[in-house]
A and B are shown apart, each in its own frame.
Chain A
Amino acid sequence: MHAHAAAIPSVVGPVSAEPDRADATLAAAGDAAAFGRLYWRHAARIKALARRLLGADEAEDGTQEVFVRAWHRLHQFRGEAAFGTWLHRLAVNLLLRERERGRRHTADDTPLESLAAESRPSRDVDLERALATLPAGTREVVVLHDMENYTHDEIGRLLGIGESASKMRLHRGRSALRGLLTGREGR
């Protein structure tokens, strides 16, 4: 093999199951170029997920960790689900743990009131900053339910909470965002 190790693999068309499956098989056998093709097809969606869950500053590192983990776990991909689904699940699990770990070390929650105060009366509040103000455990539910289309049952299993707790957090999260976006108090 004489190709440069860091050469950028070509992007092969839109995301679809067949090239993903073939590349996943090759990558599981150690083919880094095949893994590169998977990366270029799926990285944007994973980075968006990382941005939503961790924030823009952490999105790149989070995405890197997801793909490093995927590289090591590729032998576990059996092709029963689409590769993108498998990767997304892996990413959600890893990023939730990452968020939990980060929360233990930093106080990342700007007081809700201060952001609301500085943003009024504008309705053009940056959604990402607004998400960052949500209380611990609420942001995850809002992102997974309203942005990633997970059900309350799935969220409950991922976060180790009941379905009703997930619904309650979603409502509180939306209400807090409503307060930020409209200048009204959340309820």
Chain B
Amino acid sequence: MNDSWSERLSEYLDGGITGEEVVALERHLSECEACRTALGELRAVRLRLSSDSVTQADQPTPREWARLRRSIAPSRRRWLVPAILAASLSGLVVIGTLLRPHPGPAEPASLYLKASSDLQALLRDNAGRLRPETVKALQESMTQIDSAVAQAESALRADPANDYLTRYLGELHQARMMTLRQAVAVVHLRS
């Protein structure tokens, strides 16, 4: 077998040889049985490679999806924490530029829920005293926070031992309380 041609059989197979070289190579192939055999076998290898299809073993499984779901949940929530807090704080800027920040102590979640319920009732009773744009900003902030709370609670049900999610939920409750407190303070300022 002519070594100079045998090294180029793959290139020929892929149509990478053109012009005079094709003529010369095909003339050589007509005379060299070893190269013809090699070419046929290389063609078979290429066919076998290209016909390797997606197998049953490649199909995703529920276990693999659950694993992936766990992998992506905390990291995306790390991204969401500042985003949600920023959104709620931007709402507060609209609501109460006259107000000072009112950071609360680290209360348990159950207390947050009760206080949140009381504050919402108070706000509902006094909604007529707020400007429409204030109400809109407040509603948007609360909607975003509530959505994030629901996601965190759902994720915690799937992964109850996740410390990060627990802390994150606490931060969300705190943000929710701050938003409500500021809104109530605005109501009081106007009364």
Chain A interface residues toward B at CB < 8 A: 1-6, 8, 30, 32, 35-36, 39-40, 43-45, 47-48, 51-52, 56, 59-60, 63-64, 67-68, 71-72, 127, 142, 146-147, 167, 170-171, 174-175, 177-178, 181-182, 184, 187
In the bound complex, what is the Cα–Cα distance between A178 and B39 (angstroms)?
10
Contacts of A52 in B (CB 8 A): 52
Min CB–CB distance A114 → chain B (angstroms): 20
Q: Which A residues are CB-close (under 8 A) to B7? A: 171
A59 and B62 alpha carbons, distance in the complex (Å): 16
Q: B165 to nearest A CB, angstroms?
A: 10
Chain A binding site: helix, strand, loop or mixed by DSSP?
Answer: helix
Report the bound CA distance from A171 to B64 in whole Å: 37
Chain B, 62-80, contact with A by CB distance < 8 Å: what is the 0/1 string? 1011111111110110011
Nearest-Cβ distance from residue A121 to partner chain B, whole angstroms = 15
Total count of chain B residues near the partner, CB < 8 A: 47
Task: Determine the residue in chain A with the shortest Cβ distance to B49.
Answer: A146
Interchain Cβ contacts under 8 Å between A and B, 26 examples: A1-B147, A2-B150, A2-B154, A5-B73, A32-B73, A32-B76, A39-B68, A44-B54, A44-B58, A44-B59, A45-B58, A47-B58, A60-B64, A63-B64, A64-B64, A67-B68, A68-B71, A68-B72, A71-B76, A127-B49, A146-B46, A147-B49, A147-B50, A167-B16, A174-B46, A175-B10
B55 in contact (CB, < 8 A): yes
* Least CB separation from A146: chain B residue: B49
* CB nearest to A41 among chain B residues: B60
Q: Is the CB of B42 within 8 A of A174?
A: yes
Residues of B within 8 A of A32 (CB): 69, 72-73, 76
Contact (A5, B154) CB under 8 Å given A56-B57, A147-B52, A178-B41: yes
